[in-house]
Amino acid sequence: MFISDLFIAFIKYSFKLIKSNGWLIGLLTVLVIVFQGLILPAQTQQPVTIKTLVRADEAQQLQPLVTKFNQQHSDIRFQIVEAPSDSNQVEDLYTSSFLLGNSPYDLIYMDIVWTPKFAAAGWLEDVSDRLSDTEAQQYLEGDIAGGMYENKLYRIPFRSDAGMLYYRQDLLEEAGYEPPETFKELLEISQDLQKQGLIEWGYVWQGKQYEGLAAMFVEVLQGSGAFWVNPDTLEVGLDRPEAIEAVEFLRQAIATKVSPPGVTTYAEEEARLLFQNGKAAFLRNWPYVYSLALESPIAGKYSIKPMVHSVGQNSGACLGGWGIGIAKNTKHPDAAWEVIKFLSSEESQREFILETGFVPSRTALFNDQAIVAKYNYYPKLLDVVQSSALRPPISQYAQTSDILQRYLSAAITGKMTPEKAMQAAAKETRNLLKG
């Protein structure tokens, strides 16, 4: 009642203002008309505007590059619209803008896993002819492969991302261990460190049912010599013995108390906090943790290496990262390409990386003088990134990933045996991709 009284009083007051200041309203109206008549036409000869939608925190970080671009180009105005910080929500916003038809975005700043879906839906412009082979070779191979759909390129990589193993160097030295190479060594070293009371938990990773679970699992799969879905033949490999062994490793980690029971609810941040607070010896995470942990109790005590694997197999680093594509319905594809060329240039990437500590998508930058001077671990990072594993680049990836997430989550929470879970996941995935 109180609020509604206030509201009514406010409206009454507004009416009174209008009544007593009729001349003021008139003057304002005239001004608006003059403005529209004189000033707006002058602006119609303005440069073409190229818009894109980027997660809020990253939009801030890109701002210096935007300003620089607009200073250099008088005929194009590049503009970034800020989106929510959660990348799922950005995907939804792009999706709904395309579904509605007249999308306001000329460029699509996209996560690697969106590419096949957006390309299959016909929302992306084929940019294969715009990038020469020699130019393409300057990027990380996996990053270019992740931008392809049915042998055409739809996305130019801007910044890369890859999963890796963080380990506590100080603890390993104290106990006299080399960094682990295999799954088995990781578990054994963890148990020993825990037994000696050097650390509370061994290995923390992303076990929550969400996309990060699939990203983490791709690495374990590759390390076990297994595969998820072959993008060319759509063959599903989840129920093969090697894949079941991969799940077995995760189960083992929980069963032997190497990983905390709560690991099945952890996303990146929960895992990072445990590691950073000195509560875990090993961590699977993305490169962003490295610079954050430099200002934590474990500063100077940790290092990184490629993910562990089975005997006789190789490491896999799940490739993430962001790139830029051109929207099919843009009226200015050439201007949009100018923006892409500018952003993905070596110079812009160097500037952006130095500012933010993200991972470059150009191979040369990992050994770049200026970058190594600031981040001395980047040459090591190149090893990690080059052993990359892709999540299957298929148009129905989102659904495929959800199936895996559900059954993998069932397996690691003990609701199903690894064998049963993977068989069910494989069966459902085959049904989906067949239909």
Point out which residues bind another protein (CB under 8 A).
91-92, 95-96, 117, 120-122, 207-210, 260-265, 270, 274, 395-396, 398-399, 402, 405-407, 409-410, 413, 415-416, 428, 435
Question: Smallest distance from the beta carbon of 71 to another protein, in angstroms?
Answer: 38
Cβ distance to another protein smaller for residue 292 or 398: 398
Tokens of 271: 């895992």
Cβ distance to another protein smaller for residue 205 or 378: 205
Question: Smallest distance from the beta carbon of 399 to another protein, in angstroms?
Answer: 5
Question: Smallest distance from the beta carbon of 408 to another protein, in angstroms?
Answer: 8
CB of 288 within 8 A of CB of 275?
no
Q: Where are the beta strands (DSSP E) in 69-179?
A: 76-83, 107-111, 148-149, 152-153, 156-162, 164-168
Cβ distance to another protein smaller for residue 122 or 379: 122
Question: Smallest distance from the beta carbon of 47 to another protein, in angstroms?
Answer: 33
Can you tell me which residue has the tokens 């261990």?
177
Cβ distance to another protein smaller for residue 263 or 365: 263
CB of 180 within 8 A of CB of 249?
no
What is the C-alpha separation between 293 and 277, in angstroms, rounded?
9
Cβ distance to another protein smaller for residue 310 or 396: 396
Question: Smallest distance from the beta carbon of 275 to another protein, in angstroms?
Answer: 13
What is the C-alpha separation between 13 and 354, in angstroms, rounded?
55
Question: Smallest distance from the beta carbon of 397 to another protein, in angstroms?
Answer: 9
Cβ distance to another protein smaller for residue 265 or 329: 265
Tokens of 143: 């990053």
Cβ distance to another protein smaller for residue 121 or 364: 121
Question: Smallest distance from the beta carbon of 98 to another protein, in angstroms?
Answer: 9
Residue 228: partners with Cβ closer than 8 Å, 6 or more residues away = 218, 221, 236, 237, 238, 243, 391, 392, 400, 404
Question: Smallest distance from the beta carbon of 409 to another protein, in angstroms?
Answer: 4
Question: Smallest distance from the beta carbon of 6 to another protein, in angstroms?
Answer: 18
CB of 324 within 8 A of CB of 54?
no
CB of 353 within 8 A of CB of 362?
no
Strand partners, 280: 201
Tokens of 149: 């759909």
Report which of 371, 337, 378, 336 is spatially closest to residue 352, judged by C-alpha positions: 371
Tokens of 387: 């052993």
Cβ distance to another protein smaller for residue 206 or 224: 206
Residue 224: partners with Cβ closer than 8 Å, 6 or more residues away = 183, 242, 243, 245, 246, 249, 309, 310, 313
Cβ distance to another protein smaller for residue 271 or 365: 271
